[in-house]
Amino acid sequence: MLLTTPKFDNITHCPQCMEDLRSEPIPKHLRKHYGSHTHFSKLIGIEFPELYDGVSFWQCPFCKTVWDRWTGRKLTAKEYARMCKREKRRT
């Protein structure tokens, strides 16, 4: 399952291509819901519901790099394909 999410872990620039991942500024009256964040994010949150209830990986919309939300480790295209395949088998 793919979705765009305004939540992000203080990532303002892609670690791979260095593109600015900040989107629109969060309206002041909504900021209390987003912790210390001041901008929405262009990051794509990737969820594997069987693995974890929430975002497990981030994907850069510019260079398509996928990395682990918790460890920051980059996934190779092969690893990512394997994750998707495993998810499909379960559902």
Contact residues for Zn ion, defined by CB under 5 A: 14, 16-17, 60, 62-63
Shortest spacing between CB 43 and Zn ion, in angstroms: 9
Per-residue tokens: 23: 């989107």
| Closest approach of Zn ion to the CB of residue 16, in Å | 4
CB of 39 to Zn ion, least distance (A): 17
- Distance (Å, whole) CA 75 – CA 68: 7
CA–CA gap between residue 83 and residue 91 (Å, rounded): 13
Q: Give the residue with the Cβ less far from Zn ion, 17 or 30.
A: 17
